[in-house]
Chains A and B, each alone.
Chain A
Amino acid sequence: MSEIKLNRELFTSEKTGVTLDQDDSGLFQRLTLRVVHPVTNEPCYMEYSKEDSKKVLLQKEDGTYVKEEDVKYLKESWQSNEYENRLAVAWKPAEKGVDIPEYWYDEAIQIIPKYTAMWDDVYVDKQKVKVDYSVGCTGTPLNKLNNLISLVRAKFPNDSDFKKQVNNIIGMYLPDHSIRPPYKSNNTITVYHMYYEIDIFNQLLKDYKVPNYDYTYCFWYGLKYDLDSSERYFKLVIRNSDEVSNYQKHPDSFIPRPQLPVCNEPYFAKIYSPDGTEADEYDVFFSTTPEIMKEYCKENNLKFPIPEDKEKEYIWTYGIVYDKNTLDVKQVKGYIKVAQDPDTWLKWL
């Protein structure tokens, strides 16, 4: 990328600039820039500290420069972080032992969704491919959810507790779309158990012969019911940690991943077959702004998942399905949270 020659700019200017300041050591330069909030579109003017400015400013004979890529990173980091902060408005503090089991509350999971009557519309290549209903839905969505439960029970009579937690999620792929690997059939129903009982989870780890990597698991897991093959897959969701991301220290548990856009801390998912086979495909999930994600997709020749008319919706996460050996991306997913009652939903724009 190129370098930008910097001049002194007004705080109303869209240009990146430099300004003079002074401390006891004498005059110094601050990098200045203006960014636009990804949700409110309010401008924010910034001046970086003496130390941070020194790291990125390049002094040349004819003036002061900065690398364009450094400016891009600084702006995107701020925008991604602000977008993440705005996503938080969909949640509220939970009551220990009432909304959230004490175990999870003590693990610092202390927030629940503001509303329980919601669903996720999942998009791939601008097409809706899946709908994930929360158990707290009512009316028609609840009927659809109950129908999905009936289909699972018919094939897996020993499984139960689908509605044990009001935030549990049950969803199904829509027909006429290519299913993501390793799943083979669109006739697959997803059940996510939220704020699960740890004993049940530990038993699943044993049943699916999951190796112990000292991962920190998230407060939900998925069971994927293939109604055609009558196979049940176990989807483990793993928080980012040293064990996950530090290859030098933890080569066995390290989770390889493709390069990601500027985003919040990602988390990962692995899928296990009933015989204990780990799927070749991993998932990585993260949040960032639609603009950053679109550019990332363009740069990496991937398909941005969200339709143009949905880009201002509550896109709470993106998911990338990739091959763990080659890191080839198989699918890019975008999740939009939709409230059953739009009047109660987020006024986040």
Chain B
Amino acid sequence: MALTSSGALSLNEMHIEAGGSSGTECSLNDSDIRGLISKSAGASMAFNEWYSASASIPDFATTMTVGHTNHSTTIGYTTTAQASKGFLSTSGSQPMFGTSTNNIGSLSSTSNANYFGGNVVHGLAMLGSTNPTATVGSIHLYVATLNISNSDASFKEVVINGTTYTRSSANYSSTTFGGFAYTNWNWQNVQADLSNASANISAFSTDSMGPFPAAGNNITITFKRT
């Protein structure tokens, strides 16, 4: 989103536009903030030069071949069953499923220097319960490094097969699990069928789940920063 074209403009807004975290230390002479208006270090600058300035980071588009898996979880004597659809690589799937380490799907490209600090995307998949049945699930995005910035410097939104999920609507967490350090964004209450609120999560690989079509299909995933 470009900066405002008139009125008040704060240094913090410039910093965010440049991909920085809100409220963190910055100055007009920082390279990323200067870069918004193509100024060299130490050049004279006026605040109104940043009107309508935009970082214009190119999108990160990658092709996902959708995968699918089913797995059960038993706690004590209570068994539940889940299905997941999308892309998960081994280390990325462990924190999501506990016992299951099934890899599913693939991404044609898993990293981009302008996104997530250049770190590798280990998973982008939807998880939902098939027993007991559920009409909604959650989408998880895993990047394999601790404490990646939860700001537009990482990504602003992700478009999965034509449906947009904003970072602002995602929960964010970062931890280490089983030796695997990761940062996670997750979107809750995603409908099993985006056009039918009463449809249940399906255990079949041939059915769609949320924005993910049946397993085997190729879809476009686009991360955006602006």
Cβ-defined contact, B79 with A287, below 8 A = no
Evaluate contact between B78 and A37: CB separation under 8 angstroms. Answer: no
A142 to B12, CA, bound (A): 70
Please tell me if A91 contacts chain B, counting CB pairs below 8 Å.
yes
Please pick, from B23, B71, B132, B174, the residue contacting A11 in the complex, using a CB distance under 8 A: B174
Q: Which of B22, B175, B177 contacts A27 (CB 8 A)?
A: B22
Most buried by A among B1, B75, B151: B75
Shortest Cβ gap from A46 to chain B (Å): 4
- Interface flags for A28-61 (1: CB within 8 Å of B; 0: not) read 1010000001001011111111111000000000
Task: Compute how far the CA of A111 lies from the CA of B76 in the bound complex, rounded to whole angstroms.
Answer: 11
A11 to B128, CA, bound (A): 29
B52 located at the interface, meaning its Cβ lies under 8 Å from any Cβ of chain A in the complex: no
Residue of A nearest to B187 (CB): A49
Q: Which residues of B contact A91 (CB under 8 A)?
A: 73-74, 99
A287–B78 alpha-carbon span in the complex (Å): 10
Report the tally of A-B residue pairs with Cβ distances under 8 A: 116
Answer yes or no: A283 CB below 8 A from chain B CBs: no
Question: In the complex the two chains form, what is the Cα distance from A111 to B78 in whole Å?
Answer: 10
Query: In the complex the two chains form, is A43's CB within 8 Å of B175's CB?
Result: yes
Question: How many residues on the A side are at the interface (Cβ–Cβ under 8 A)?
Answer: 52
- Given A88-B98, A93-B72: A22 touches B175 (CB 8 Å cut-off): no
Tell me, in angstroms, the Cα distance from A23 to B164 when the chains sit together: 14
Determine if A264 and B75 form an interchain contact, defined as CB atoms under 8 angstroms apart: yes
Interfacial residues of chain B within 51-74, with CB under 8 A of chain A in the complex: 71-74
Q: Tell me if A21 counts as interface (CB < 8 A to partner B).
A: yes
B130 and A316 contact, CB distance less than 8 A: no
Chain B's closest residue to A87 (CB) is B75
A19 vs B74: C-alpha distance when bound (angstroms) = 37
Bound-state CA distance A21–B156 (Å) is 11
Residue of A nearest to B71 (CB): A93
Among listed B26-34, B42-50, B165-173, B208-216, interface-contacting one: B165-173
Q: Tell me, yes or no, whether B152 is within 8 Å of chain A by CB.
A: yes
**Is residue B150 contacting chain A, with contact meaning CB distance below 8 A?**
yes
Flag whether A227 is at the interface (Cβ < 8 A): no
Whether the pair A22, B152 counts as a contact (CB closer than 8 A) is yes
Chain B stretch 114-134: residues in CB contact (< 8 A) with chain A: 130-132
| Contact of B198 with A by CB under 8 A | no
Tell me the bound Cα distance from A39 to B143 in angstroms: 23
Residue of B1, B156, B169, B175 with highest tally of chain A CB at under 10 A: B175
One digit per residue, 1 when the CB lies within 8 angstroms of any chain A CB and 0 when it does not, for chain B 1-32 equals: 10000000000000010000011000000000
The reply to whether A40 and B177 contact each other, CB–CB distance below 8 Å, is yes
A154 at interface by CB-CB < 8 Å: no
Residue of B nearest to A12 (CB): B147
- Chain A residues within CB distance 8 Å of chain B: 8, 11, 19-24, 27-28, 30, 37, 40, 42-52, 84-89, 91-93, 107-111, 218-220, 237, 239, 241, 264-265, 267, 285, 287, 316-317, 335
A-B CB contact pairs (8 Å), 20 listed: A8-B23, A11-B147, A20-B22, A21-B22, A21-B150, A21-B151, A21-B168, A23-B166, A46-B171, A47-B171, A49-B169, A49-B188, A88-B99, A89-B99, A91-B74, A107-B131, A110-B72, A111-B74, A287-B75, A287-B76
Instruction: Report B's interface with A, CB cutoff 8 A.
Output: 1, 16, 22-23, 71-81, 98-99, 130-132, 147, 150-152, 156, 166-177, 188
